[in-house]
């Protein structure tokens, strides 16, 4: 099942749980209105377990969350089931493969009959085991946080697949639907709200062989972060995110040799490249599930803040206000990515370069918002600490406040660590005499060993 199918199954599952619970207040356990929803739950779980070993559902801020992303399709029966779980003290429930129908019926009975509130997860588990329920577990929410990176990776990879699918279909002459792009953007936005650092850290993985796909997803993530920072309404955030994800789709209409050419372009080649925003606009205008604003943002993402870009339009032409977001995100990711014709800049170097472009190519207000969002030491910045250790910033906390976490690469004696060590800058540095670590300065990343991607990303959520 793909993500959309999984969410549909989960919504039906929770709705059936809620129906059985509600009807249990009015009818005996054997009544069809109580038993039939339980049977449906079992059938839905079997469907889900065809390719999964467990289903983890989390209640967070009165919202049902699956794999780190809120499921917004709520109704009264879903809310009733969630409320019962929350009151008892089970913010996260896990259904395991091998579950039997009787276990589901017993679980419903437990939720209906238990009058205690705020039970510890261990106590709930003990009660369920005593009732013969072996394939349903509960756990406190802090354990769920450990899965943020895994969920972020899956969401990021799904977005990569969505971009690849759109490009593949266009290149083979088919017109893709935009519904998958819409879905993955909603997932990316949900992950940003749940754990901003985890998803931003993933944008630092630069795969030269899949630059087009990585770059597109990174621009979507950064565009959504900017949209969050300027408090756009939810529908406009989705429009911005989809525009970021598909901003370069028009390049599918250009020759592959031209797109992949290393080094500089001739004047004639550059004139061809300049056609891609209009080509993208035409494609998006034909695709289903793409809003007009998204298509216009793709058309306008190279027009420049001073209107000297392309495609050229008269001074009477009114641009979408949100179109200025895409080029800011696009530029930041491009500057921090190594290409065959340029070396990657550090996050701070990229922001410094963007300040010079402000009021010409880029919106000065949005460049300032990006700087504030990324913080004084953006994720990916290599720094020297007061302990003389060297590490790379992996988390900055809400709104760029921080940094709060590093992956240490070099110890205080100057020796590279065999494996990066995750450290929390808000806590003392091991020995009391060392006190709390603080950042002294940035360092040149070329002088130190790079952090392995897995260790670096793990540090963002450790």
CA geometry: angle 447, 448, 449, nearest 5 deg: 135
Q: Which residues pair with 212 in a beta bridge?
A: none
Same domain, 101 and 210: no
Note the pLDDT of residue 433: 45
Same domain, 330 and 393: no
Same domain, 364 and 387: no
Give the closest residue to 287 by CA, choosing from 188, 166, 168, 189: 166
Same domain, 230 and 347: yes
| C-alpha to C-alpha distance for 7 and 70, rounded to whole angstroms | 10
Same domain, 346 and 436: no
Residue identified by tokens 């720094």 is 383
CB within 8 Å of 146: residues ≥ 6 apart = 461
Note the pLDDT of residue 196: 84
Same domain, 366 and 272: yes
* Local structure of residue 449 (DSSP, 8 states): P
Same domain, 30 and 104: yes
| C-alpha to C-alpha distance for 198 and 207, rounded to whole angstroms | 18
Same domain, 286 and 186: yes
CB-side exposure of 253: number of CA atoms within 13 Å? 17
Structural domain ending residue among the three candidates 317, 352, 374: 374
Note the pLDDT of residue 429: 61
Structural domain ending residue among the three candidates 374, 395, 427: 374
Full domain range(s) for residue 455: 382-461
| C-alpha to C-alpha distance for 293 and 280, rounded to whole angstroms | 13
Residue identified by tokens 């988390």 is 395
* Local structure of residue 322 (DSSP, 8 states): G
* Overall domain count for the chain: 3
Same domain, 87 and 199: no
* Local structure of residue 427 (DSSP, 8 states): S
Note the pLDDT of residue 423: 84
pTM of the model: 0.69
CB within 8 Å of 452: residues ≥ 6 apart = 419, 420
Q: How far is CA 107 from the centre of its chain?
A: 33
Same domain, 39 and 102: yes
Same domain, 256 and 320: yes
Say which CATH number the domain at 352 has: 1.10.3210.10
DSSP structure string for 90-132: -SEEEEETT--HHHHHHHHHHHHH----S--HHHHHHHHHHTT
Note the pLDDT of residue 460: 55
**Is the separation of the CB atoms in 247 and 216 below 8 Å?**
yes
| C-alpha to C-alpha distance for 126 and 141, rounded to whole angstroms | 18
3-state helix, strand, coil in the chain (%, to 5): 55, 10, 35
- Assign residue 162 a region (left: φ > 0; alpha: ψ between -120 and 50; beta: otherwise): alpha
State the DSSP H helix or E strand holding residue 20, giving kind and residue range, or none if neither: helix 3-24
Residue length of the chain: 462
Structural domain ending residue among the three candidates 143, 174, 205: 143
DSSP structure string for 365-416: HHHHHHHHHH-SS-TT-EEEETTS-EEEEEE--GGG----EEEEEE-TTSPE
Same domain, 86 and 165: no
Note the pLDDT of residue 206: 65
| C-alpha to C-alpha distance for 226 and 399, rounded to whole angstroms | 10
Dihedral angle of Cα 196, 299, 294, 360, to the nearest 10 degrees: 40
Q: Provide the b/e sequence for 272-291 (b: ≥16 CB within 10 Å).
A: ebeebbbbbbebbeebeebb
**Is the separation of the CB atoms in 366 and 358 below 8 Å?**
no
CA distances from 93 to 55, 67, 212, 317 (A): 8, 12, 38, 54
Strands 405-410 and 390-395: antiparallel
What is the pLDDT tens value at each position of the chain, 462 positions in all? 766 678 788 888 888 888 998 898 888 888 999 899 999 999 999 998 888 888 888 776 556 777 655 665 445 666 777 778 878 877 788 899 999 999 999 999 998 888 887 788 888 888 999 999 999 988 765 444 446 777 788 888 889 999 999 999 999 999 999 999 999 999 999 888 878 888 888 887 666 556 788 999 999 999 999 999 999 999 999 999 999 999 999 999 988 778 777 777 888 989 999 999 999 999 999 999 999 999 999 999 999 999 999 999 888 889 998 999 999 999 999 998 876 556 778 889 999 999 999 989 999 999 999 999 888 888 888 889 988 999 888 888 655 666 778 888 888 888 888 878 888 887 766 554 456 788 888 887 777 666 555 555 555 555
């Amino acid at each position: 099942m793909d993500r959309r199918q999984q969410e549909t199954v989960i919504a039906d599952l929770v709705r059936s749980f809620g129906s059985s619970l509600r009807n249990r207040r009015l009818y005996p356990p054997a009544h069809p209105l109580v038993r039939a929803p339980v049977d449906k739950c079992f059938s839905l779980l079997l469907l889900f377990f065809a390719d999964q070993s467990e289903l983890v559902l989390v209640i967070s801020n009165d919202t049902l969350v699956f794999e780190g992303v809120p499921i917004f399709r709520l109704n009264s029966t879903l809310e009733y089931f969630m409320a019962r779980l929350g009151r008892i003290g089970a913010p996260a429930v896990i259904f395991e493969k091998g579950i039997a129908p009787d276990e589901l019926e017993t679980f419903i009975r437990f939720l209906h009959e238990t009058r205690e509130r705020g039970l510890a997860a261990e106590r709930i588990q003990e009660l369920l085991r005593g009732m013969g329920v072996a394939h349903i577990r509960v756990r406190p929410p802090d354990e769920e946080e450990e899965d943020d990176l895994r969920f972020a990776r899956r969401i990021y990879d799904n977005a990569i697949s969505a971009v690849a699918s759109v490009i593949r279909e266009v290149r083979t002459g088919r017109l893709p639907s935009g519904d998958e792009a819409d879905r993955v953007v909603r997932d990316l936005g949900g992950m940003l709200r749940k754990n901003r650092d985890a998803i931003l850290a993933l944008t630092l993985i630069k795969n030269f062989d899949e630059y087009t796909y990585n770059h597109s997803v990174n621009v979507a993530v950064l565009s959504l972060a900017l949209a969050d920072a300027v408090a756009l309404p939810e529908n406009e955030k989705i429009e911005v995110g989809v525009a970021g994800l598909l901003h370069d789709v028009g390049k599918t209409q250009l020759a592959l040799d031209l797109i992949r050419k290393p080094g500089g372009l001739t004047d004639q080649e550059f004139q061809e490249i300049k056609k891609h925003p209009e080509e993208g606009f035409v494609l998006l205008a034909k695709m289903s599930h793409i809003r007009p604003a998204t298509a216009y943002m793709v058309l306008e993402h190279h027009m420049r803040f001073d209107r000297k870009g392309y495609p050229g339009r008269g001074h009477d032409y009114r641009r979408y206000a949100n179109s200025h977001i895409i080029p800011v995100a696009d530029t930041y990711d491009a500057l921090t990515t190594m290409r065959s014709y340029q070396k990657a800049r550090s996050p701070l170097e990229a922001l410094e370069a963007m300040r010079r472009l402000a009021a010409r190519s880029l919106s000065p207000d949005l460049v300032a918002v990006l700087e504030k969002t990324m913080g004084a030491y953006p994720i990916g910045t290599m720094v020297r600490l007061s302990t003389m250790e060297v590490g790379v910033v992996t988390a900055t906390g809400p709104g760029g406040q921080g940094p709060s976490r590093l992956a240490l690469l070099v110890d205080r004696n100057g020796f590279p660590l065999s494996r990066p060590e995750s450290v929390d800058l808000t806590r003392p540095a091991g020995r009391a005499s060392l006190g709390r670590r603080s950042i002294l300065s940035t360092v040149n990343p070329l002088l130190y060993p790079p952090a392995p991607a897995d260790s670096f990303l793990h540090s963002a959520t450790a």
